[in-house]
Structure 1
Amino acid sequence: MITRLILGAAALGAIALFRKPRTPEPELPVRDAGPSQMRNPPPTWDRTDEAIDESFPASDPPGTY
């Protein structure tokens, strides 16, 4: 039983030594919220538009919820 544990630990150690390191994914540019940060801002802008724009990503609820 102990022999299997030692061999298993050695195998995991060898895998960790020879595994290729991951390269980090490049970060995508994210604009600030608000119509002033848009390329083509809408002609009208209200509190609902502001709350929707600030709720990125979609898992974040708006602050006025």
Structure 2
Amino acid sequence: MGLIKMALAGAAGYAFYRYTQNRQKNAPKAAFAVGEGASENFSQVRNAGPEAMRDQPRRWSKTDEASDESFPASDPPSTY
């Protein structure tokens, strides 16, 4: 009887795991706006600019724009 209970608990745990994994596949990515970023893309780098962000910033200056456009380059933009 104990073996059956353990098997049922394992099956329930596996079903819950599969359920949560399927929900995460459909969830939008944290940094991407709707329609931005391809899930099959390995690098997962979004386009520059506030229109490519999921959450719009309250303020967006030219410095923010230059910094955002320079990513993932290692040297900062020259507009500072």
Task: Please give the TM-score of this superposition, normalised by the length of structure 1.
Answer: 0.49
| Greater Rg by CA | 1
